[in-house]
Amino acid sequence: MKELLTGNEAVARGAYEAGVTVASAYPGTPSTEILENVAKYKEIYSEWAPNEKVALEVSIGASIAGARSLAAMKHVGVNVAADPLFTVAYTGVNGGLVLVTADDPGMHSSQNEQDNRNYAKFAKIPMLEPSDSQEAKEFTKIAYKISEEFDVPILLRLTTRICHSKGIVELEDREQVEIKEYVKNIPKYVATPANGRKLHVKLEEKLKKLEEFSNNTSLNKVEWYDKKIGIITSSVSYQYAKEVFGDNASYLKLGFTYPLPKEKIKKFANEVEKLYVIEELDPYLETEIKAMGIEVIGKELIPRVGELNPDIIAKTLLGENKEVIEKNEEKVVGRPPTMCAGCPHRGLFYELSKKKNVVVTGDIGCYTLGSAPPLEAMDTCICMGASISAGHGFSKAAQVNGRETKVFSVIGDSTFFHSGITGLIDIVYNKGNAATIILDNRITGMTGHQHNPGTGYTLMGEVTNEIDIVKICEAIGVKHIEVINPLNLKETKAAIDKAMEVDEPMVIITKWPCVLKKSPNEEIEEYGLADRKICEVDQDKCKKCKMCLKVGCPAISFDSEKGAIIDDTMCVGCDVCLQVCPFDAIVKVGE
């Protein structure tokens, strides 16, 4: 049977067919749908972990127990998981272990576009790179066989275009894989220095055998056509190269890209007149091939920044400009990303934006949009969990240098569980005075509403223990904690004003469900979500002062003749604009 699957769906299918029984991940675009689809296979225990390090460690533990396991994460998540990754390369596996990294060339939804192929060489783990959905499924299955044959974890590297593009995939039955016997083996699994030194030697021996495998495996294949041009490529770049050059070039398509098949590369290079390396982002292949003394053309022509496509390759390598439809700049309406109408974060950032001599350190999530006009209520955003610790550093620097600046750190509920807790511990332990604002919207919002330890539900839909953020803060030692409704501006302002005066650690928790969330019945009742009425503008009262526009709600527009207008198809009745209007011109419909 065949189905049309995305690359992420295909990886999930591959894990199912390979007999995987344990999978763990932290959501992050473009990898999120891998675990969401794995969870549909009831034969696989699947879970959202608090962060990527935990996800990989769960999978490592399952592997040592003898089960085939999978961990999935976006590219920057591997940075979080790097500590166990480098050590499991030494210890090896029992049941097969695959780590899926989903890179994001072009930064469609990421803070950088790091090339995680470098992790394979850095951590000394074999790497596979599929170029379409069919290969995503097949390579996942093959990865488990390689993992168990060579006693190594495998890095399966995808990119956004592979993750989210659809292709026809041949489905097969699930392989019934019995869990392997666990045998206590301290020299293998206890990574003390004495054991690690021996394990490192063994790993280098494995890599030599894996390079021999790389030279012989059909994962690295030659396609002979015209030999005047040879192209070495991998991943989605292979598809782009084939679209541009067709039969006018020969190809060495690499699916197993660490260790590289050096003998196969040399033989291919000797057969062609001109050799190109086509790859996205870093010159990962090019650098290695040039180090072999082989002359190639690559990044001197092909951009190393951003996502590739056939047009870029045709232009840079063949000088061809594809005909495209030019957009009419006069008709194109700018639609910058903004918080949704009714977003519970809007009121908080509106109040923060009015404060003077305040610095707001931000984090990764929807609320990063608090940095966008007209709110512009954020100064920094570095990585997951950095808002609290960076805010503490900023605050300490100000203190020791005699500068009076109040620092607020804003962080989402899921991100707080991910890696914000340790930053708060740091503030309490080191007597900081930065205020922490935890934006609890009852879900992991930006990646598409995945459950987290604070929601009370698991990935598999089971009711579970809800981790109480207030109790966590109390246990850490925070004495000043305020839980507020962020849609109530007076309440929000009062909490911020209090934090301005407190010279000790303080936590404000803004608690309201994401406006896009499909809330369970108990949540609808708790927050009165079913009773809300939308707002409208009383045009007779509107003085055209534009104060309502300062909250940055996409449901509000302005007409020079009529004044403010509220789109009744977007408004959800959050009331933030109603509270801002100085002339009571915004009212509830029907009241």
Query: What residues are designated binding site for [4Fe-4S] cluster?
Result: 542, 545, 548, 553, 571, 574, 577, 581
What does the block give as tokens for 386? 């950095």
Residues facing 361 on adjacent strands: 380, 409
Closest CA to 512 of 484, 534, 552: 484
> What is the spatial distance between Cα 363 and Cα 380, in angstroms, rounded to a whole number?
8
The C-alpha atoms of residue 350 and residue 344 are separated, in whole angstroms, by 11
Tokens 């050096």 label which residue?
262
Distance CA 181, CA 512 (A): 48
Using the structure block, give the residue that is written with the tokens 């690559």.
298
Half-sphere exposure of 51 (CA within 13 A, CB side): 22
On the CB side of 134, CA atoms within 13 Å amount to: 6
For residue 197, give Cα distances in angstroms to 188, 324, 386, 541, 571.
Answer: 11, 58, 34, 78, 63
Say how many CA atoms lie within 13 Å of 515 toward its Cβ: 19
Compute the radius of gyration of the chain from its Cα atoms: 27
Of 463, 439, 305, 303, nearest to 378 by C-alpha is 439
Q: CA 3, CA 119: separation in Å to the nearest integer?
A: 32
DSSP-assigned beta bridge partners for residue 175? none
Alpha-carbon distance of 221 to 256, in angstroms, equals 10
The strands making up 22-25's β-sheet, listed across from edge to edge, are 45-48, 22-25, 69-74, 97-103, 154-159, 127-128, 256-258
As annotated, the binding site includes 542, 545, 548, 553, 571, 574, 577, 581
Strands 220-223 and 380-381: unpaired
- Cis peptide upstream of residue 520 (ω within 30 degrees of 0): no
Strand partners, 4: 168
Task: Print burial letters for 87-114: b (CB count within 10 Å at least 16), e (below 16).
Answer: ebbbbbbbbbbbbbbbbbbbeeebeebb
Separation between Cα atoms, residue 447 and residue 392, nearest integer Å:
27
For residue 564, what is the DSSP state? E
Nearest to 452 by CA among 99, 38, 31, 25: 25
439 phi and psi angles, rounded to 5 deg: -90, 90
Distance (Å, rounded) from C-alpha 372 to C-alpha 421?
Answer: 26
Token pair for 240: 């782009």
Token pair, residue 24, equals 């763990």
Cα–Cα dist 516/49, whole Å: 23
Taking the chain, what is the end-to-end CA distance rounded to the nearest angstrom?
58
Q: CB of 106 within 8 A of CB of 113?
A: yes
Q: Report cis status (omega within 30 of 0) of the bond before 130.
A: no
